[in-house]
Amino acid sequence: MAMSEFAHNQGEVPAGGGRRVVLAIETSCDDTSVAAVDDRGGILALETASQTESHQPYGGVVPELASRNHTVLLPGLVERVLAQPGCGVGDLAAVAATAGPGLASSLLVGNTMAKAMALGAAVPFVAVNHMEGHLLSPFVGRDVPFPFLGLVVSGGHTLLVEARGVGDYELVGRSLDDAAGEAFDKTGKMLGLPYPGGPEIEKCAKGGDPTAFAFPRAMLESGDGNFSFSGLKTSVRVLIQRLDPAAREQWLPDVCASFQEAVVEVLSAKTLEAARRRGLRDVAVSGGVACNGRLRETLRAEIEGRFGARLHLVEPRLATDNAAMIGHVAHWRLASGRVSSLEEDVDPNLPLEGIGRLRGGRAAGR
C-alpha cells in the first residue's frame, strides 16, 4: 500500500487482534532504513538506503545533509516495505522507530513518521534504543540466550554489556574516549584513505605485516572492561610524520595491519576476560566493526577455541545501522506489553535502559 493510500485508509484499519507485523524505522545517523518483522522478530522485508557517497567528500557525516536525505528517502522505503506480501497497514501490530542515541535532526525524521503512521493505523508506537538494537541484532528472528555478554563495537560506541533480559542490562565497560570504529575512520583519514576508513584499512591490511609497528594496547591490563583508542590514533599520527611520504605505497599496508591488530587484540582480550570473570557462556558481537574479518577470526579463536563459549556474530548485513534490529527489539517490547507514548521525544544521548553507570572509570556492580 502506497503512502497516499495509507492516508485514505487509516480510518478503515480495525484495531485489535490478528495483527502480527511490526514496521520499524531507523534514521539515527546517515543510513535510512525501514523493515517489517514478524511475530518472532524475523525479517519479512528490509529496505536500506546508504548515504555514504553523499558524505564522502566531507570525510564524515554532515548532520544537516543526513537529515535532509532521510526526509527525501524515507517515504519511498516505507512504501516499498508496505507493498510486500503480509506487510500492509492492516497487518501492523505496531510501528517502531529509533529514539536515540544519534543525531537529533536525523532521529526526528524517522521518529515523526513512525508516530504519524502509528496514530493513523490506530496501533501502538514503540520507541527503541539504538544500542539495544545493536546488542540484540545477532539474534534477529530467534530467541535470545539470556544471559550473555555483548560486545557492541561501532563508529560511535564501544560497549561491553551483560544482558540478563530484554531491558535488563549492566554496563561492564566502554571506551573512555574514541570508539573503535571512530578510531578506524579517523586513522583512515590520516592515512589518506577514502571514507569510511574502517573497511579501507581492513582491505589495505591484507597485504601488510601486523607486527611491523608496535602500536600501544591501551588498558589491556586495566582489570576492568573499559577501552581507550585515542592514544593508538595519536601513535599512528606520530609515526606517519616520521615516515617517508614518497615510500607510502611500501609502508601503508604495514601501518594498516599493525593498527588493525592493536584494535583487534584489545577488543578480543577484554571481551574474553569479561566473559570469564562473569561466567557467561554466550558472547554476542555486533556493530559495524563486527564486519571486520580479522576481528571475527580472532574472536572465534579466543571465545570458542580458548574459552569454549558460544560466539554469536551478527550477520554482516545487520551489523551496520538497519531497521530490522529496531523491529526485533520492538517485537520483544510489544510482547511484554511495553509501548511508548506519542509524546516521548528523541534523545541524542539516550543511555541504554537499565545500564549501570561508570564510576571512577569502572563499571558499577560486579
Q: What is the pLDDT of residue 355?
A: 53
Across the range 211-218, mean pLDDT stands at 97
CB neighbours of residue 331 within 10 Å: 26
Tell me: the pLDDT tens digits for 159-175? 999 999 999 999 999 99
Q: What is the pLDDT of residue 354?
A: 54
Percent with pLDDT over 70 in the chain: 91
Q: What is the pLDDT of residue 60?
A: 82
| pLDDT range class, residue 18, cuts 50, 70, 90 | low
| pLDDT range class, residue 16, cuts 50, 70, 90 | very low
Q: What is the pLDDT of residue 2?
A: 44
The secondary structure of residue 205, as a DSSP letter, is H
For residue 366, is pLDDT > 90? no
* Topology annotation, domain 144-314: Nucleotidyltransferase; domain 5 (3.30.420)
Across the range 10-15, mean pLDDT stands at 36
For residue 17, is pLDDT > 80? no
Across the range 280-309, mean pLDDT stands at 97
Q: What is the pLDDT of residue 84?
A: 97
For residue 3, is pLDDT > 60? no
Pairwise CA distance, residues 99 & 182, whole Å: 22
For residue 20, is pLDDT > 70? yes
For residue 235, is pLDDT > 80? yes
For residue 13, is pLDDT > 80? no
Of 217, 101, 154, 159, nearest to 363 by C-alpha is: 159
The set of residues, in sequence order, having a beta carbon less than 8 Å from that of 262 and lying 6+ positions away, is: 215, 216, 217, 232
Q: What is the pLDDT of residue 266?
A: 98
Cell of 142: 530467534
pTM, 2 dp:
0.90
Tell me: the pLDDT tens digits for 76-111? 999 999 999 999 999 999 999 999 999 999 999 999
Across the range 186-213, mean pLDDT stands at 96
Contact 89, 81 (CB under 8 A): no
More confident position, 204 or 57: 204
User: In the chain, which residues fall in CATH 3.30.420.40?
Assistant: 3-137+321-335, 144-314
Helix axes 230-242, 180-190, angle to 10 degrees: 10
CB neighbours of residue 305 within 10 Å: 12
Residues found in the chain? 366
Q: What is the pLDDT of residue 14?
A: 37
Mean pLDDT over the full length of the chain: 91
Tell me: the pLDDT tens digits for 32-62? 999 999 998 999 999 999 888 888 888 888 9
Q: What is the pLDDT of residue 56?
A: 85
| CATH fit for domain 3-137+321-335, picks 3.50.40.10, 3.30.420.40, 3.40.50.80, 1.10.260.40 | 3.30.420.40
| pLDDT range class, residue 356, cuts 50, 70, 90 | very low
For residue 226, is pLDDT > 50? yes
Most distant pair of Cα atoms in the chain: their distance: 70
Tell me: the pLDDT tens digits for 303-332? 999 999 999 999 999 999 999 999 999 999
Cα of 299 vs its chain's centroid, Å = 18
Pairwise CA distance, residues 319 & 322, whole Å: 8
